[in-house]
Amino acid sequence: MADQPLVVGDKSQKTLLLVDDTPENLTVLGEILMPFYRVRVANSGLRALQAAVTEPRPDLILLDVMMPEMDGYEVITRLHANPETHEIPVIFITALDATEDEAHGLELGAADFITKPVRPPIVLMRVRGQLELKDARDRMHDQNIWLEAEVKRRLRQNQMIQNVSMRALASLAEARDNETGRHILRTQGYVNILAHELAKLPKYSSLLTPETIESYTKAAPLHDIGKVGIPDRALYKPGKHTPEEWELMKTHAKIGSDAIWRAIQDEEDQVGLDFLHIAMDIAHYHHEKWDGSGYPDGLVGDEIPLSARLMALADVFDALASKRVYKPAFSIEKSTEIILQVRCKHFDPEVVDAFVVRRDDFCALADRYRDVEEAED
């Protein structure tokens, strides 16, 4: 049989590539296999490599070992080095029957050995067995790809449900304070912007990983969840609070962190709940101040969790730049001026510096999620 790209056969059949430099050997193998399979042939190692990457791709290669210029060992080595052909099973057809020859071929990745002279029943049995194994591997590979895609889809779906649930829960607290859902989106975005900017600093690069930043962002909406526990008489008072009322208002920080803690403390498996531990820190500490004058614990500087330091600036900026019942919206310039005035007092100076660098992004986000009332004014 001369070298040829394809021996005509049923397209539904498996395709075999027979490689041998002796035409008589190709003829013998072809006569055995052609009644059952589509057969392609190559009479050299180089042509075998070319045929392996052209259509129809072989499902199995029967490869002679002893060939001039490029022997079967070199051919299989190159096949396995090529991503397009490394999964095609190879059966060596050889007159070499020494144990060390077979061991060497198997070390190189051969699926099986058939010794010459070939016997038709043995050839058909070995070929059928390898094709069945390949079919099983292909099905498992396809199933694994499907499973991976399905797992990713489910994770995305669960993530979406989780995020929406967190925002819905946070909205309950914001509604108690006459805030809007857009305040949640804005402050969440500000925290994300600040975290990404701080991550550029060597000091924070190992801490603020993409996963940690995602957790900070996801947890941010729960910063004022404790307001659901503040009585209406204090929360909705239009004028200045009495000292007693102000002390009552300040308890929302601990009420919020305690509520989150009660929700997770009985869970034996804490995997996936990291963002709720971060939410506890944000809820509890986002009113702490860099100089120690904040509440509820009067922490100073780096004693305040980083997530809460980011939330502190995000929350104050939004309060300054947004309209409130007690004040109009300040300009971006005025809001920035106020924040710079309390750098190293209220806010972590590095967080303020990150804000200044990314102020344009803050402005764009504020405009994107502007409250409806402001947009209509």
Question: pLDDT tens digit string along 244-287?
Answer: 999 999 999 999 899 888 878 876 665 667 788 899 999 999 99
Lowest-confidence pick of 55-59, 104-108, 192-196: 104-108
Q: Where along the chain do its domains lie?
A: 4-145, 177-376
* 151, pLDDT greater than 90: no
How does pLDDT run across 211-248, given as a tens digit for each residue?
999 999 989 988 988 888 888 888 878 778 899 999 99
Residues 6+ apart with CB under 8 A from 156: none
Burial class (CB in 10 A: 0-12, 13-18, 19+), 140: exposed
Q: What 3-state DSSP class applies to 6? A: strand
Structure pTM? 0.59
Reported as type and span, the H/E element at residue 234 is helix 232-235
Question: How far is residue 339's CA from residue 316's CA, in Å, rounded to a whole number?
Answer: 8
Looking at domain 4-145, does it have CATH number 3.40.50.2300?
yes
**What's the mean per-residue pLDDT of the chain?**
87
CATH class of 177-376: mainly alpha
